[in-house]
């Protein structure tokens, strides 16, 4: 069973992090591959959902926190840090191939400080988007036993991670502008096997993401683990179904994207649904995300890696749609009245998360554009050479080596074959 925030789950979250490198990297042009990985690796890596007066960072790392269920503070710090890391990595996919490394580093620090951290506190730290008695949900529908009567549900980061990162990606894509040649001349992903490998690593790492959010090795963690698996599988089928009907061909890229969309959709709901409800949520999430990726062509914003469709749209569906399938108070699970109230609460927290992240992103993006600028000088040269002066693949050396071997084969004489010696006959 998947443990709570323990070294095992931290390993899986690290695996989830590297899965992002494998999945995002092959989507980029070959000349931008290394730059993609550098940008994701240097995302800010600190998050704590305790109090603003220091939280767990103000305590001894080896000691247990008040709400830690017995595990040391350092584990909680590390576990929360991985959520901040993946959130900023998600955003980078929308503006891949055209922004300066320095501009990205500046934005990442601003966004994670003024958007991610406040949202994490609002949702998981007893803030206005939580179940606390002073939250928006409590203000709308009252308080019972010291918490909101209709408590909002975000099990593992639908609002904090995916909606906030997706909203930031949309704003950045608009402010930064499209790549050269978009939408007519944009290269396809250059390494589909690596995309599939990255999707598999992300799927595995998501067990730590969702299962670890139970904060214990118990039945809830097991339910979250199972729901994560079936939702991703169902979303993969939903995405490929749309491809088959619309494009007459289901693709491996669509399968990978569909699985990720399902993982995104189930993230806020992993501990609140039955496996059957998770299948329905995931299947519809795959369909919705597949349809939403075409919005960038209709609205004219260049989202390089379909972050808006896969993370924002699937995150919105998972956060809001769980009100239909929630085991305790879902609209379709026999709790119609409570389910409608939950639908209102879930919609409210999703909208607030979008507004907070979108506003911070807009201000930061405009500030950077007016000062240091966003765009690289020579987009045709690529980020690898233009920004980092290195490449992921040395094709020139490979071509030169191939030519040398071909030339040597042409001029070298045929090998001399020594005649076979019959040793038995020689002895006689």
Q: Say what the pLDDT of residue 124 is.
A: 94
Q: How confident is the model at residue 381 (pLDDT cuts 50, 70, 90)?
A: confident
Three-class secondary structure of residue 187 per DSSP: coil
Q: How confident is the model at residue 173 (pLDDT cuts 50, 70, 90)?
A: very high
CA–CA separation, 325 and 290 (whole Å): 21
Q: With 50 as the cut, is the pLDDT of residue 119 above it? A: yes
% of the chain beyond a pLDDT of 90: 65
Q: Say what the pLDDT of residue 216 is.
A: 87
The 10s digit of each residue's pLDDT in 325-352 is 999 999 999 999 999 999 999 999 999 9
Under 8 Å between Cβ of 346 and 153: yes
Q: With 80 as the cut, is the pLDDT of residue 192 above it? A: yes
Q: With 50 as the cut, is the pLDDT of residue 197 above it? A: yes
Q: Which two tokens stand for residue 303?
A: 């989202």
Find where tokens 């390993």 sit: 11
Under 8 Å between Cβ of 170 and 296: no
Q: With 90 as the cut, is the pLDDT of residue 405 above it? A: no
The 10s digit of each residue's pLDDT in 49-103 is 544 444 555 556 666 666 656 778 888 889 999 999 999 999 999 998 899 999 9
Which of the two residues, 193 and 40, has the higher pLDDT score?
193
Q: Say what the pLDDT of residue 413 is.
A: 56
Q: With 60 as the cut, is the pLDDT of residue 35 above it? A: no
Q: With 50 as the cut, is the pLDDT of residue 40 above it? A: no
The 10s digit of each residue's pLDDT in 253-304 is 999 999 999 999 999 999 999 999 999 999 999 999 999 999 999 999 999 9
Q: Say what the pLDDT of residue 273 is.
A: 97
Q: First vs last Cα of the chain: how many Å apart?
A: 74
Q: How confident is the model at residue 246 (pLDDT cuts 50, 70, 90)?
A: very high
Q: Which residues contact 426 (CB under 8 A, 6 or more apart)?
A: none
Burial 219-249 (b: 16+ CB within 10 A, else e): ebbebbbbbbbbbbbbbbbbbbbbbeeeeee
3-state helix, strand, coil in the chain (%, to 5): 65, 0, 30
Q: How confident is the model at residue 9 (pLDDT cuts 50, 70, 90)?
A: very low
CA–CA separation, 38 and 382 (whole Å): 14
CA–CA separation, 182 and 36 (whole Å): 19
Q: Which two tokens stand for residue 13?
A: 């979250």
Mean pLDDT of the chain: 83
DSSP annotation of 313 reads: I
One DSSP character per residue, 95-137 reads GTTSB-HHHHHHHHHHHIIIIIHHHHHHHHSSSTTSSSTTSHH
CA–CA separation, 298 and 256 (whole Å): 23
Domains, the chain, in order of start with CATH, read 72-127+157-379 (1.10.3430.10)
């Amino acid at each position: 069973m998947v443990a709570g925030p323990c070294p095992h789950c931290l390993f899986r979250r690290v695996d989830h992090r590297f899965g992002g490198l494998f999945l995002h990297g092959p989507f980029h042009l070959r000349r931008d591959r290394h730059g993609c990985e550098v940008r994701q690796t240097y995302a800010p890596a600190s998050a704590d959902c305790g109090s603003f007066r220091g939280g767990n960072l103000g305590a001894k790392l080896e000691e247990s926190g008040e709400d830690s269920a017995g595990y040391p503070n350092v584990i909680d710090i590390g576990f929360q840090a991985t959520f901040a890391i993946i959130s900023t990595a998600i955003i980078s996919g929308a503006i891949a191939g055209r922004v300066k490394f320095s501009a990205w580093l500046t934005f990442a620090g601003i966004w994670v400080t003024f958007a991610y951290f406040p949202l994490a506190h609002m949702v998981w730290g007893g803030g206005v988007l939580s179940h606390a008695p002073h939250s928006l949900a409590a203000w709308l529908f009252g308080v019972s036993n010291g918490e909101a009567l209709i408590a909002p549900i975000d099990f593992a980061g639908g609002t904090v991670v995916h909606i906030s990162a997706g909203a930031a990606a949309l704003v950045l894509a608009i402010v930064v502008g499209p790549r050269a040649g978009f939408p007519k001349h944009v290269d396809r992903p250059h390494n589909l096997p690596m995309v599939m490998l990255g999707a598999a690593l992300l799927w595995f790492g998501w067990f730590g993401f969702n299962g670890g959010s139970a904060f214990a090795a118990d039945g809830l963690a097991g339910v979250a683990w199972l729901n994560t698996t079936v939702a991703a599988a169902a979303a993969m089928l939903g995405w490929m179904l749309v491809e088959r009907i619309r494009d007459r061909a289901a693709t491996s890229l669509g399968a990978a994207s569909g699985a990720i969309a399902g993982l995104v959709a189930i993230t806020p709901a992993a501990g609140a649904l039955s496996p059957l409800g998770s299948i329905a949520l995931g299947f519809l999430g795959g369909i919705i995300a597949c349809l939403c990726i075409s919005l960038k062509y209709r609205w004219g914003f260049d989202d390089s890696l379909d972050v808006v469709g896969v993370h924002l749209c699937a995150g919105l569906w998972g956060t809001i749609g769980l009100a239909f399938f929630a085991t305790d108070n879902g609209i379709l699970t026999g709790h119609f009245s409570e389910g409608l109230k939950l639908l209102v609460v879930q919609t409210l927290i999703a909208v607030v998360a979008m507004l907070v992240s979108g506003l911070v992103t807009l201000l930061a993006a405009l500030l950077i554009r007016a000062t240091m600028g966003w765009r690289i000088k020579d987009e045709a040269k690529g980020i690898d050479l233009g920004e980092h002066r290195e490449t992921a693949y040395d094709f020139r050396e490979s071509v030169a080596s191939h030519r040398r071997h071909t030339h040597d084969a042409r001029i070298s004489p045929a090998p001399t074959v020594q005649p076979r010696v019959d040793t038995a006959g020689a002895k006689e």
